[in-house]
Chains A and B, each alone.
Chain A
Amino acid sequence: MWTTNKRDIATGILLMLMALLLVFVLIPFGVVEPKKVKFAALSPSYYPRLVGYCLLAIGGLIVATRWLGHNQTEAESTPQQSRSSAVLLLLFSILLVFYWTLPLAGFVLGSALALACLLLLAGERRPLMILTISITVPSLLYLFFTKVANIPIPAGVLEPWLNRL
């Protein structure tokens, strides 16, 4: 059984690991130090390092307080969780495919397909409703941004047709 105490301990450990990763890996490799710094507080790494130490301390405090505390309410679990995980995986897959195909498919076609999948996943079963929303919403948004707001939106494969509008 997964209790809120255990979840919080895991959170605290995760935060500490993040802080250690930041201080010992991300800052040394990700922050470019100038050759000469007048004093420590002006260094580009001073402030992120300080925040990293704070995060480490907070993570430690969370672990310590929950370790000493009593077990609290049990988090909900099992049958629904497995369903949730499947939906979550499906949702992430839709979003990932949507994102990667955006430059090629364009915003109208990509959004229409993604919207149809999302509506199905959300429980909508009426084909006409799915078709109407999937086509009208991206088309209207495209027309608004390109024609009213003058913001160019990539049309992808539909560019030859949409440019005529």
Chain B
Amino acid sequence: MLDTLSTAFTLFATLDNALVLLLGVIIGTVVGAIPGMTTVMAVALVLPFTFSMQPVTGILLLLGVYKGGIYGGSITAILINTPGTVAASCTVLDGYPLAQRGEARRALDIALYSSCIADFISNLSLILFAGLLASFALKFGSAEFFTLIVFSLTIIAGVSGKQLLKGFAAACMGLLLATVGLDLIYGTNRFVFGQINLMSGFTFIPVLIGLFAVPEIINYFVSVETSREKSKLAGIGASLADLKQCLKTIVRGSVIGVVLGAIPGIGGAPAAFLSYSEARRNSKDPEKFGKGELEGVAAAESGNNGVAGATMIPLLALGIPGDIITAIILGAFMIHGLRPGPLMFEQNLSLIYAIFMGIMLSSLFLLIVGKISIRTISKIADIPRHLLFPVVLILCVFGTYAVNNTIYDVGIMFAMGLFGFGMLKLGIPAAPFLIAFILGPLFEDNFRQALLISKGDYGVFFSSGICLFFWAMTILSVGILIWQHTAGKKHD
């Protein structure tokens, strides 16, 4: 064992590895902060550069980009209401209201601390529980996935605030928008109407940007002149007391992220929403969520960053990539003649330990890079809005185009922007729409797949302990939300 650790340390402890990891975190943070530039895109772009590197160095570069990218998405989500990545979409809910209140720096600090702590916990879980979590994750079939998503969707009631019915209506519209495209089981068209672009459905980023950033910009243009300018939005950073206040939420979010991250195919966004939902449910002031609650930012960021290390669990322990990024990393392993899985733990244990060491160091680099970036980037919040918003709109256009290299997506972004502005004017909350749009495909696909496997027997949704656990949690969650809603009305 000591020999293996010593070999691993020799493999890891080189200047090249440290520099490449740092570079990866910087690239990831910058790319993640640009709307439209996804973490997947950044990892894929960096991949060819790893071919000539040593296996550990190359894989650490990709991991650095991955971790930086997940954090970077929160920066623009907080500052300009435009999540850089899908995983950061939940951060918008409280991050942007905090920035509007002049507390952007505080929100960015908490997002960074949450990200680093969650990342560290996630990495630790990867090292300690890889085998255990991988075997648990393998027990998830379509029915278990479906009940998990049902539980995650209960957050819709939470983020709707006093507009509960309108929130449900928004969720229905989000679910419907997610059905556009080819049917998963039969491969037939749904709401395509002869448009080839619609066959693959709507891409997340144009819808995300259109729904959150564009209505805010339109609303700025039509708002009253006197209420326009606000200065010194960046404000002061988060205090130790803020961190202490959020610590419980961060740890809870990290655990949620780790568990969901270990399940192949879940991703950061559902983890962030579930963590947010739990934070709101456990909060003494749940009504503050969605209006600029620091714990909301902590919950969202810890949830999505908790996934980062854990997605490596099925990859390293079983050789199964949990998402697109880990699939690219799997490709990098294979290019270097390595095949992740149980056999790798026997044949290349020192290499795995070297990667673990690098992963732990990445949390520290994330903190350093994040702290430096906050100091410079948070100045964006001080730019006069009449200059910032038109520039942001153009940035959104470039970013949206970059996702699929199609002007059609720009049109979708504008259309969603108008739709979002309409929702704003009618008092329909946008967050439930977004949550349903993101979780909708998982919800429907797993529902139908489970029924297909069970030959139409609905009993499949109650057939395992995991299903029953999530049903119980759903009932509990809905019960508490209804109680809170009625208690709130009585109080009013």
Contact = CB atoms under 8 A, between A and B. Distances in A.
A144 B477 CA distance: 46
B128 interface: no
Main DSSP-derived SS at the B contact region: helix
A111 B169 contact: no
B37 A149 contact: yes
A157 interface: no
B219 to A, nearest CB: 10
Contacts of B191: 26, 30-31, 48
Interface in B200-249: 218, 220-225, 228
A38 B456 contact: yes
Given A55-B173, A118-B393, A48 B190 contact: yes
Interface in B33-65: 37, 41, 45
A58 interface: yes
A30 B414 CA distance: 23
A99 B410 contact: yes
A55 to B, nearest CB: 4
Contacts of A4: 427
B380 interface: no
A4 B162 CA distance: 14
A140 B449 CA distance: 47
Which of B37, B385, B394 has most A Cβ within 10 Å?
B394
B218 A115 contact: no
Interface string B433-471: 000000000001001100110011000000000000000
Contacts, number: 163
A26 B173 CA distance: 14
B427 A141 contact: no
A62 B165 contact: yes
Interface in B364-420: 385-387, 389-391, 393-395, 397-398, 401-402, 405, 407, 410-411, 414, 418
Interface stretch (B180-188, B251-259, B312-320): B180-188
A149 B411 CA distance: 22
B166 A62 contact: yes
B411 A150 contact: no
Given A11-B426, A54-B172, A107-B398, A133 B185 contact: no
A125 B121 CA distance: 51
A29 B191 CA distance: 8
Interface in A110-146: 111, 114-115, 118-119, 121-124, 129, 133, 137-138, 141-142, 145
Interface of A: 4, 7-8, 10-11, 14-15, 18, 22, 26, 29-34, 37-39, 41-42, 44-45, 47-48, 51-52, 54-55, 58-59, 61-62, 65, 80, 84, 87-88, 91-92, 95, 98-99, 102-103, 107, 111, 114-115, 118-119, 121-124, 129, 133, 137-138, 141-142, 145, 149-154
Given A38-B452, A137-B395, 14 more contacts: A7-B426, A11-B166, A30-B191, A31-B189, A32-B189, A54-B168, A55-B176, A58-B169, A59-B169, A62-B166, A84-B223, A91-B218, A115-B394, A150-B45
14 contacts: A31-B188, A31-B191, A32-B183, A42-B452, A58-B168, A62-B166, A99-B411, A107-B397, A114-B394, A115-B390, A124-B387, A137-B391, A152-B405, A154-B407
Interface of B: 31, 37, 41, 45, 165-166, 168-169, 172-173, 175-176, 179, 183, 185-186, 188-193, 218, 220-225, 228, 385-387, 389-391, 393-395, 397-398, 401-402, 405, 407, 410-411, 414, 418, 426-428, 444, 447-448, 451-452, 455-456
